[in-house]
Amino acid sequence: MERTLIILKPDAVNRGLSGEIITRFEKKGLKIVGLKMVWLKEGILREHYAHLVSKPFFPDLLEFMSRSPVIIGVLEGRNAVELVRSMCGVTDANKAAPGTIRGDFALSTSRNVIHASDSHETAEKEISRFFKKDELFDYGLNNIKYLYADDEMKQ
């Protein structure tokens, strides 16, 4: 099974959307293998958003993401990276389809309530950036046989 990282951003936390967003992933059948609330400091934000440092909006992003605690999670499931990205909707929430997290809860590109890893490789880097190995849990779901066929569990 594949793992991916999500960050419920300060707007999600402060608007009281965290539980509802996490519930969507659980209802879909994704397994939460790590979850914590943290206050992100400038150093880790610069590392996480290194690809955006030269963008004119970077100072606002840095200030926004350090404005309040965030909730960081690791989700596990078949094709988790692609599935979670699809559930989140496009980055510009104004263009996100209704029914997606951003489509239902956001109006902005920069205030779009959630971050999700964009590839398997990125997910691995982001998970190790935010979680120690002993903060991730491997356990069985009692409903796994109702979520996947036997051949799908091996993928």
**Catalytic residue positions?**
115
Asked if residue 44 lies in contact with residue 38, where contact means CB atoms within 8 angstroms, the answer is no
Asked if residue 128 lies in contact with residue 10, where contact means CB atoms within 8 angstroms, the answer is no
CA distance 47 to 126: 10
Nearest to 71 by CA among 16, 10, 3: 10
